[in-house]
Amino acid sequence: MNGSGYNNSKDARTIGKAAVTHILHITDFHFLAEPGQTLLGVDTEQSFAAVLEHAGHAPWKPDLALLTGDLVQDPCHSSYERLKQRLSALGIPCYCLPGNHDDPRLMSELLPSENVHVQHRIMLDPWQIVCLDSTISGKASGRLSDEQLGLLEQSLRNHPDRYTLIALHHHVIPSGSRWMDTMVLENASEFLAITQKYPHARAVVFGHVHQEIDKVFGRLRLLATPSTCFQFKPFSPNFALDIAAPGYRWIELYADGTIGTRVERLTDVPAGLEFTSNGY
C-alpha cells in the first residue's frame, strides 16, 4: 500500500461500457482495548492492517469501504480511536455500521471524521446503499427494529430508480452452523419479505459469520464476507475455528444494476491462532 492508502495508477471507474463503483467490504475486525493484545491468539489489529495492505495492491482505488460491524471486541475510546486513525489513513470514504460487539452510541460518537461516516444511506447514482443496525443491546443475536425496517422500506419505496445494496451485521439466512444460527437475524423473514416487494433491491451484504457465503434468495444476492481476523468453521454444530485465512470482498456495482463480487484472502492464517479454543 502506498502512503495515501491506495494505488492510483489505473482508473478503473469504467469496465467495458458500464460505469462501475468499486466497494471494499471489510468486516469483523474485533479491535481490542490495547494495541498488541490478542483474541484467540490473534493480534486482530495487525491482521486488519495485513488485510488492508493486501487490498491496497489492487489496480484500482476503491470508491468506498463498507464496514459491517464487530469493528471492535472491546468497545472503548482506545479501540475506536485506533480504528479511526487507520481508516483516516486509507483516504477513501468509509461507511460503518455496528455489530453485536460494538457500542453503537460510542461508535457514532467517536468514529466520524472527514472520511469516516456512520449513516443510514449512501447515494451512488444509480445505486443506493442502505445501512441497517441489527444489534440488540446486551445480546449476540440480531433483530431489525420497526424503525430500521421502516427505513429500509422507505428507502426502497422512495427510490424505485435506484438499485439497492443493503448492508447489516447479522446473517439473514441460516449459515448451517448450529451454534452460529442461534444468532441469525430474528426477524429475517420479515426483512426478506420487504426486499422481495422491490425488484430494484439487488443484494444484501453482511458479516458476523466469519466465513464466505454467496447465495440467492429470489432476485436477491446474499453475501457474507470473511473476517479480517479469525474464521469460523463452516457447517460446524459447535464453535470451531477454521483454517481459512483472513479476507475481504470486492463488490462492483454496475450502472445496469448488475453486481460483480469476489472474496480475496491473505496467504496465511494469523500466527498464534489457537485452533483448539472452544469459544471467545
Instruction: Give the residues lining the site for Fe ion (CB under 5 A).
Output: 28, 70
Please list the residues that pair with 226 across neighbouring strands.
Answer: none
Nearer to Fe ion, 70 or 252 (CB): 70
Residue 25: CB minimum distance to Fe ion, A: 14
Nearer to Fe ion, 62 or 226 (CB): 226
Residue 211: CB minimum distance to Fe ion, A: 11
Q: Rounded distance, CA 159 to CA 141, Å?
A: 30
The amino acid that residue 41 corresponds to is G
Residue 180: CB minimum distance to Fe ion, A: 10
Nearer to Fe ion, 70 or 133 (CB): 70
Please list the residues that pair with 95 across neighbouring strands.
Answer: 66, 117
Nearer to Fe ion, 164 or 227 (CB): 227
Nearer to Fe ion, 100 or 148 (CB): 100
Residue 42: CB minimum distance to Fe ion, A: 12
Three-class DSSP labels, the chain:
CCCCCCCCCCCCCEECCEEEEEEEEECCCCECCCCCCCECCECHHHHHHHHHHHHCCCCCCCCEEEEECCCECCCCHHHHHHHHHHHHHHCCCEEEECCCCCCHHHHHHHCCCCCEECCCEEEECCEEEEECCCEECCEEEECCCHHHHHHHHHHHHHCCCCEEEEECCCCCCCCCCCCHHHHCCCCHHHHHHHHHCCCCEEEEEECCCCCCEEEEECCEEEEECCCCCCCECCCCCCCCECCCCCEEEEEEEECCCCEEEEEEECCCCCCCCCCCCCCC
Residue 228: CB minimum distance to Fe ion, A: 10
Nearer to Fe ion, 29 or 191 (CB): 29
Q: 157 vs 124, 194, 244, CA distance in Å?
A: 17, 10, 40
Nearer to Fe ion, 87 or 259 (CB): 87
111-47-8 Cα angle (round to 5): 70
